[in-house]
């Protein structure tokens, strides 16, 4: 029985890793674990795809059923197939939205944690005092004491 890595399965299904995990939980698919790596079999991948997909036949409805069903039965069958197809598409889109929302929620939690950590680390210092460097300090001193001799600068007196 051939096994596929999680990356291969995600690429084959065209979904993200989070989307694949959602589908595994939804359909009750257990991954095969070997050490730190996980694998899926061909049968499990078929389950994750959502079973049979409805494909549009090349023949007309009348040729396909050949009179074995009445017009109403053909219409019901066709609508049922379309309904299954649309449900599958809706599930796929829902998985994508859930994955995106998951990322958004994780990032908003991270932002909140960073904000609280930032306020905890800098509780009383105003932002202007934190980022001053030597050049800014010299400019401030020149503005405060513009005509000062070197001796005055040393002792803090105006000259």
Domains defined along the chain, listed by start: 1-51 (1.10.1660.10), 55-120 (no CATH)
pTM (global) more than 0.85 = no
Largest CA distance in the chain: 113
Where residue 57 falls (left for φ over 0; alpha for ψ -120 to 50; beta otherwise) is: beta
- Supply the pLDDT for residue 106: 92
Instruction: Measure the CA–CA gap between 33 and 37, rounded to whole angstroms.
Output: 6
On whether the CB atoms of residues 10 and 16 are closer than 8 A, the answer is yes
Length in residues, the chain: 159
Q: How many helices (H) and strands (E) does the chain have?
A: 8, 3
Beta-bridge partner residues of 41 = 3
* 3-class DSSP assignment, residue 31: coil
CA distance to 1, 32, 49, per residue, from 12 (Å): 18, 18, 10
Q: pLDDT tens digits for the chain (159 residues)?
A: 788 999 998 998 888 888 888 888 888 888 999 888 889 998 888 888 875 444 444 444 444 445 556 778 888 888 999 999 999 999 999 888 988 899 999 999 999 888 888 877 776 655 555 555 666 766 776 666 556 666 666 676 554
Q: Report residue 98 as tokens.
A: 């859930």
Instruction: Measure the CA–CA gap between 47 and 24, rounded to whole angstroms.
Output: 9
């Amino acid at each position: 029985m051939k096994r596929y890595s999680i990356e291969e399965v995600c690429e084959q299904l065209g979904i993200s890793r989070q989307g694949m995990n959602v589908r595994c939980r939804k359909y009750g698919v257990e991954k095969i674990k070997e050490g730190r790596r996980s694998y899926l079999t061909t049968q499990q991948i078929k389950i994750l795809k959502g079973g049979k997909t409805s494909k549009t036949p090349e023949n007309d409805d009348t040729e396909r059923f050949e009179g074995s069903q009445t017009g109403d039965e053909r219409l019901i069958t066709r609508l049922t197939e379309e309904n299954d197809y649309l449900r599958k598409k809706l599930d796929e889109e829902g998985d994508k939205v859930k994955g995106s929302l998951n990322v958004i929620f994780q990032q908003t939690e991270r932002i909140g944690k960073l904000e609280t950590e930032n306020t905890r680390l800098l509780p009383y210092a105003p932002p202007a005092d934190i980022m001053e460097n030597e050049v800014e300090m010299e400019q401030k001193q020149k503005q405060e004491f513009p005509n000062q001799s070197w001796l005055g600068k040393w002792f803090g007196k105006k000259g």
